[in-house]
Copies of this chain bind each other. A is one copy, B any other.
Amino acid sequence: MLAFECDYLEGAHEKILQRLVETNYEKAPGYSADKYCESAKEKIKQACNCPDAEIYFLVGGTQTNAIVIDSILQKYEGVIAATTGHVNVHEAGAIEHTGHKVLTVPSYQGKMQAEDVRSLLQGFWNDASHDHMVFPGMVYLSHPTEYGTLYGKQELKEIADVCREYKIPLFLDGARLGYGLMSKNTDLTLEDIAKICDVFYIGGTKVGALCGEAVVFTGQNMPKHFMTMVKQHGAMLAKGRLLGIQFDTLFTDNLYFEIAEHAINMAEKLKEGFRQRGYSFYLDSPTNQQFIILSKEEIAKLADKVTFDFWDPVDDNRQVVRFATSWATKEEDIDALMTLLDEIKR
């Protein structure tokens, strides 16, 4: 059975496991006060070229979104997101669970537009009754988005400009950041992101780690007593070394970027294979998630030989499905998938 349903099917990059084994019996203090966390933070600061950065390691993506948003927002504020944003749709209301509203702007293939954000903010401040409304207190966006799409440097800057104009922070959810950075079609570097955003996170779970996300506050703007809020959210890991060692490994010798690049290469090959065979794409994704339109018949023929994920229906007969590559995808599996596609055409 081939598997392309998501980008978290395997464990961790073998160098990570190797270092977990090597360091296993070292005694390290708990709660991320260990030397691996320290070292990982230094390497990430360098990778971001952001010496002022404050970094905190958390376990998962929804957890990170909820804690970052809740710890930054004032009680009367909400967070602006695209209607398709992960925090608005697929986090079981984790943001609202902390008492904050998600204020939505339109989604264009997963992306928001600066003009819509400005319009929401203008509308709010011009509304005579805005004291009766949720104050827009920050902007959340994901890069790559839930649809694999990417912001251009100019686009991201424009959103950041609106944020600065209205004095609210910009938060970038980088659960799949590596795949965005190594896309063939991006002009945004990690350093750019650290310059443009107030806070973002570098996803580990989907890019080579067993678990883990590295939150980067870019301007000495980590909320006061952030650690206590992490604890309050039930998110503090006793053996913080687990996160430190993973990120330390990922940010040694460019591992994070190399394995992300591999996933992109595999995605490009997969994409080209589908294209050559005449398949339609739901949208043109430059990252590791590819959204392809299949007929029910095609889906039925593939169903017991390869796994993929189901997205929106197109019409009664057709469906958008997602094929994802990752740091662990083997080229031979892409080849096998293409052979499979050739077979079902017969």
Report A's interface with B, CB cutoff 8 A: 3, 5-6, 8-12, 14, 17, 20-21, 23-30, 59-67, 70-71, 74-76, 78, 89-94, 96-97, 99-102, 128-129, 131-135, 205-206, 210-211, 224-225, 227-229, 231-239, 241-242, 310, 328
Contact = CB atoms under 8 A, between A and B. Distances in A.
Contacts of A234: 60, 62-67, 91, 94, 233-235
Contact of A17 (B20, B26, B71, B102): B20
Contacts of A134: 92-93, 96
Nearest to A233: B234
B27 A231 contact: no
Contacts of A92: 76, 131-134, 228-229, 231-232
A240 to B, nearest CB: 10
Contacts of A133: 89-90, 92, 228
B9 A17 contact: no
A129 B17 CA distance: 30
Contacts of A12: 20, 24
A73 to B, nearest CB: 9
A227 B131 contact: yes
Given A131-B231, A229-B76, A60 B93 contact: no
A228 B62 contact: no
A93 B78 contact: yes
Contact of A75 (B14, B70, B78, B206): B70
A102 to B, nearest CB: 8
Contacts of A225: 74, 76, 131, 135
B90 A101 contact: no
A292 B312 CA distance: 41
A324 B229 CA distance: 27
A224 B74 contact: yes
A75 B71 contact: yes
Nearest to A5: B29
A319 to B, nearest CB: 12
Contacts of A135: 225, 228
A120 B12 CA distance: 38
A101 B88 CA distance: 9
Contacts of A64: 234
A232 B66 CA distance: 9
Contact of A27 (B9, B14, B211, B229): B9
Nearest to A328: B25
Determine which residue in A67, A94, A96 has the highest number of CB atoms from chain B within 10 A of its CB, and name it: A96
Contacts of A211: 237-239, 242
A229 B225 CA distance: 23
Given A71-B75, A93-B232, 10 more contacts: A8-B239, A10-B27, A17-B17, A25-B328, A78-B93, A91-B132, A92-B133, A93-B99, A94-B234, A96-B101
Contacts of A210: 20, 239, 242
